[in-house]
Amino acid sequence: MVRPRLNAGAVIDGFTLGEILHRGGMAMLWSVTHPDHDLPMLMKVPLLFEGEDPAAIVGFEMEQMILPRLHGPHVPRFIAAAGFEVQPYIVMEHVDGVSAETLLPRTPLPAAEVAAFGAAVATALASLHAQHVVHLDVKPANILLRPDGTVVLIDFGLSRHERLPDLMQEEFRLPYGSAPYMAPEQVMGERGDPHSDLFALGAVLYQLTTGAWAFENEQRLSAMKRRLWRDPEPPRRRRPDCPPWLQEIILRCLEVDPARRHPTAAQLAFDLHHPDQVALTARAAKTARDGMAAVLKRRFNPDPMAPRPSGTSAQLAAAPIIAVAIDLPVETSALPEAMRRSLMRIMAMVPGARVACLNVLRQGLISIDTTLDADGQNRHVQRLVELRHWVAPLRLEEERVTFHVLQAVNVAGAILEYAEANRVDHLILGARPQSVRRRLLGSVSGEVAAWAPCSVTVVRLRG
């Protein structure tokens, strides 16, 4: 077997090599062109020299299997690949964007910038998890930002696809990953839990918020295991002006027990999009690490980890986001109660679901309507109160329900936009009684059901 010489101008399977863009520990990246493809491309070539880490080869095989199965704006577009018979490579889209590493020299970043970045990464992870993949190496170097702010995740050599053989698990016993961002369960050899990516993102958000690592870049396994019982310094100790809601989110991501983190990446993105709705716990107020008694207990007598869904499919199914669009003021008919019963039935089947109660405050077509009602009360505030009253009989925990009053001219459009932006899994809304106006102009429920990016339940009263 004679491998082609890799230098500028060389042609491999029709791809002409340009310049070397990057030389990492496991692979080289070349710019390439091809007469049949007009988009910017790069070729990833594994390092196969004597003495190279065999994990580089296995990781390359994993990426060759996984990348062609991925799609969407949050991953590079796959173009071509070749095996090890002659010259192994992967050709993919050369993403027009910059690495999140470019943010590090500016740390600590403003809380709003950290939240916007975190929400974009969590949205990308939600898309990845929906495609049955856990990344397992989320870090600034593997996060690219397109000019429009869309996040692209790269480097799937350490990733785990739920429906493919896990070569890394089969061939190696030591955990692989980037030490400052590895989740405790990943350190212990668990490679199938999407919560591991949420932990890594929490470590990235910690770094952007404080300018410091949550956990040291210590490569020894014994040192990495310390994160099972030793918590990091709270962000507010390093940066006193860190908002409580941001510390709450970061420390929840960094919980040792995966079951205590956000149930899904979509729910994490939801919190980062709506910081005013974040339910604060004791985590938000911490200014010091846990005392030695708590550390010793976790070290020598740890609490059993709560049972949790296994794999990406089970996790997503167990923790959907349910949005309920409620017409206010609440009618005297039985429709609001029927909608509550529908929500209760769904939540009985998925107790990990999160509920977003919505109302659209309709604006005039020409000018913005007054924010006050006939009694001089703020209509936005009043509707938030009414939403809370509507959901109160369900007795949901505070962290499982949020309230949103949307202002828009088009009611159906506002609901659809909210569902798309927040990766809602299921929508519930009521259908008003038939009328001449509904027959002529159509209904909000009909438009939402026709165009929603998720499943929809329309509740209609008999008769």
What integer pLDDT is reported at residue 336 of this predicted model?
85
Give the pLDDT confidence of 266-299 residue by residue, as tens digits.
999 999 999 999 999 999 999 999 999 988 888 8
Secondary structure class of 116 (helix, strand, coil): helix
Indicate whether 58 and 123 sit together in one domain.
no
* Residue 287, in any domain of the structure: yes
H, E, C per residue of the chain: CCCCCCCCCCEECCEEEEEEEEECCCEEEEEEEECCEEEEEEEEEECCCCCCCHHHHHHHHHHHHHHHHCCCCCCCCEEEEECCCCCCEEEEECCCCEEHHHHHHHCCCCHHHHHHHHHHHHHHHHHHHHCCEECCCCCHHHEEECCCCCEEECCCCCCEECCCCCHHHHHCCCCCCCHHHCCHHHHCCCCCCCHHHHHHHHHHHHHHHHCCCCCCCCCCHHHHHHHHCCCCCCHHHHCCCCCHHHHHHHHHHCCCCHHHCCCCHHHHHHHHHCHHHCCCCHHHHCCCCCCHHHHHHHHHCCCCCCCCCCHHHHHHHHCCEEEEECCCCCCCCCHHHHHHHHHHHHHHHCCCCEEEEEEEEECCCCCCCCCECCCCCEHHHHHHHHHHHHHHHHCCCHHHEEEEEEEECCHHHHHHHHHHHCCCCEEEEECCCCCHHHHHHCCHHHHHHHHCCCEEEEECCCC
What integer pLDDT is reported at residue 352 of this predicted model?
82
Indicate whether 82 and 102 sit together in one domain.
no
Indicate whether 244 and 324 sit together in one domain.
no
* Residue 3, in any domain of the structure: no
Q: Which of 75, 93, 111 is the last residue in one of the domains?
A: 93
Parent domain of 80: 11-93
- DSSP summary character for residue 9: T
CATH number for position 331: 3.40.50.620
- The structure tokens listed for 379 are 């209509």
* Residue 371, in any domain of the structure: yes
For 295, phi then psi, to 5°, come to -65, -45
Number of domains the chain contains? 3
Burial class of residue 203 in the structure, from the number of CB atoms within 10 Å of its CB (0-12 exposed, 13-18 middle, 19+ buried): buried
**Nearest alpha-carbon partner for 226 in 299, 288, 173:** 299
Query: How many Cα atoms are found within 13 Å in the side-chain-facing hemisphere of 304?
Result: 3
CATH number for position 60: 3.30.200.20
What integer pLDDT is reported at residue 308 of this predicted model?
61
What integer pLDDT is reported at residue 5 of this predicted model?
77
Indicate whether 288 and 347 sit together in one domain.
no
* Residue 189, in any domain of the structure: yes
Q: Which residues of the chain have pLDDT under 70?
A: 1-4, 49-53, 305-310, 331-332, 364-376, 434-442, 463
Give the pLDDT confidence of 177-229 residue by residue, as tens digits.
899 999 999 999 999 999 999 999 999 999 999 999 999 888 888 888 999 99
Q: Which of 67, 93, 119 is the last residue in one of the domains?
A: 93
Indicate whether 266 and 234 sit together in one domain.
yes
Indicate whether 79 and 128 sit together in one domain.
no
* Residue 1, in any domain of the structure: no
Indicate whether 119 and 192 sit together in one domain.
yes
* Residue 446, in any domain of the structure: yes
Q: Which of 292, 315, 338 is the last residue in one of the domains?
A: 315
Indicate whether 325 and 362 sit together in one domain.
yes
* Residue 6, in any domain of the structure: no
* Residue 4, in any domain of the structure: no
